[in-house]
Amino acid sequence: MARRTFIVESDLSASAAAVSRIGAFCRRNGVSGNMLAVIELCTVEALNNAIEHGHATTPEIPVEVDVDVDGSELVVEVRDRGLGLPAHVLRAAPRDVTWETLHTLPERGLGLVILRRAMDEVSYHVGAEWNSLVLRKHVGDATSARREKASPNLRTPQMKRERVDEERGRGREEQDLPAAASDREHARDHAEGE
Amino acid sequence: MRSSELPLGNLCVLRVHDERIDGKVGAELAHAIADLVERGHPRIVLDLGRVRFMDSTGLACLVGSLKLVGRQGQLSVAGLQEGLQILFKLTRMDRVFPNHVTIEDATRAPKPAGV
C-alpha cells in the first residue's frame, strides 16, 4: 500500500504540475495506460474545482490531495477549506448529448460529469474544517487495460448501467457538477511508504 | 496557443501545436475558430494529434465553438490521442463532434447536408 499527500498552491496554473507528480506516483505504484490517463484527468478536475470554488476568495490556502493505492483500488481525496460546493451544482442535468440538446447544455459543469462517469464512486463531505471530495477507482486490472486498446475495463458501473439503459431505450438523468481547469504544483510531499 | 491553418479543398484544417488545452488555451482556440468562420470557412477540422491532455474547461470552449459553427457548418476533430478519446467518450461529446482518425480521412468524409 502506498499513500502520499500533495500540497498544491490554490492557483489554476499550479494544477498541471501537481497532477503530473501525482501521475508519476500512481505510475510507480502500478497504474498505467488508459487508467492512468483517467486518474490524471479526474484529479485535474477535482483539484481545479477545489481551487476555483473552494478557495476562490482564499487563494493563500493550499489544497491538499491524498493519493492512496493499495494494488486494486485507488483513492484520491481532494481537500479544501472553502465554503463547500453549493447545492445547485449537484442537481441533475440532462445526461444525453445530441445536436438537439447541445444548445441547452451548460458549458460549465463538465468537470463533475467527468468525475461521476469515470470513477466508481464519488463522494463529497462538508466538514467543520475541510471539504473533502473523494474519488475511488478499481485499478487492479490497470496493466491489462493498457494492453487492451479498446479499454473495456475502463467502463465504470455507472457507464455499464447507462449502456444497458440505452439499449433498453430508457433515458436517465445524471448529476451535473461544476467545471474545473488546468495546472502546476507547489509542493511538499509526505511519503507514507511507496 | 500555437496553431496553423491549412486549407484543404472545401475544408480548413486548424492544427493545434500545444500539448495541453485548458481553459486559457481553449479560449484562444475558440477565438481562432470564430475567426475562421468569420472568414467564410464552414467546414473546419481541428487537428488535435499533438494534444496530449485536455480538461473540461478546454472541452467547454470547443463545445462553445461547435454551437457557433452550428449545423450550417461542420466542426470536426482529427487525430485524437487516447486520453482525448476517453474525455470525448466520458462527456459524450463523441456523439456531436465528427471524429476522424487522420486528416486524410477528414478530407474523404462526405460533405454534410446544408453546408
Name the residue among A48, A97, A182 with its Cβ closest to that of B93. A97
Q: Please enumerate residues of B whose Cβ is less than 8 A from a Cβ of A.
A: 20, 22-24, 53, 55-57, 59-61, 63-64, 66-67, 71, 82-83, 86-87, 90-93, 95-96
Which pLDDT belongs to residue A90?
57
- Joined grid coordinates for residue A186: 507547489
| CB-CB under 8 Å, A107 with B64 | yes
> What is the reported pLDDT for A107?
67
Contact residues on chain A for B28, CB-CB shorter than 8 A = none
Question: Any CB–CB contact under 8 A between A180 and chain B?
Answer: yes
Q: Return the DSSP state at B112.
A: P
Could you tell me the three cell numbers for B31? Answer: 477565438
B16 pLDDT higher than 90:
yes
Reduced 3-state DSSP string for B97-110: CCEECCHHHHHHCC
Q: A100 CB near a chain B CB, below 8 Å?
A: no
Q: Which of A41, A95, A135, A174 to mutate to test the interface with B (most CBs of B within 10 A)?
A: A41
With a CB cutoff of 8 Å and minimum separation 6, the contacts of B29 are B1, B3, B14, B16, B21, B46, B58, B61, B62, B65
Tell me if A91 sits within 8 A of A100, measured CB to CB. Answer: no
Average pLDDT over residues B17-22: 95
Which of B20, B24, B96 is facing A98, going by the closest CB pair?
B96
- Which residues make beta-bridge pairs with B3? B16
Size of interface A-B (CB pairs under 8 A): 89
Q: Which helix (H) or strand (E) holds A18?
A: helix A15-28
A117 close to A158: Cβ distance less than 8 angstroms: yes
Closest CB from A34, A105, A183 relative to B86: A34
- Find the DSSP H helices in B1-115: 23-38, 56-69, 82-90, 103-108
Phi and psi angles of residue B48, each rounded to the nearest 5 degrees, phi first: -105, 20
Distance CA B80, CA B101 (A): 7
- Would you write out chain A's pLDDT as a tens digit for each of its 194 residues? 799 999 999 998 888 899 999 999 999 999 988 899 999 999 999 999 899 888 878 888 999 999 999 878 999 999 999 877 765 665 545 456 777 777 776 666 788 888 988 999 988 888 888 999 999 999 875 444 444 443 444 555 555 555 555 555 543 333 333 333 333 333 333 334 44
**Which of A84-98, B24-38, B39-53, B90-104 is predicted with the least confidence, judged by mean pLDDT?**
A84-98
In the prediction, which pLDDT does A101 show?
A: 73
Contact between chains at B55 and A182 (C-beta distance less than 8 A): yes
Q: What is the interface pTM, i.e. ipTM, of the complex?
A: 0.85
Instruction: Let me know: does A182 contact A15? Beta carbons within 8 Å.
Output: yes
Convert A45-81 to b/e letters by CB count within 10 Å (16 or more is b).
bbbbbbbbbbbeeeeeebbbbbbbbeeeebbbbbbbb
Please tell me the distance from the alpha carbon of residue B83 to that of residue A152, in angstroms, as a whole number. Answer: 14
* Closest to A138 (Cα-Cα) out of A40, A79, A193, A69: A69
Q: CA A66 to CA A78: how far, in whole Å?
A: 7
What pLDDT shows up at residue A170?
Answer: 43
Determine the pLDDT at residue A132. Answer: 92
- Condensed to tens digits (0 to 9), the pLDDT of residues B61-91 reads 999 999 999 888 999 999 999 999 999 999 9
Nearest to B19 by CA among A188, A8, A183: A183
Residues in chain A within 8 Å Cβ distance of B91: 97, 110, 113-114, 117
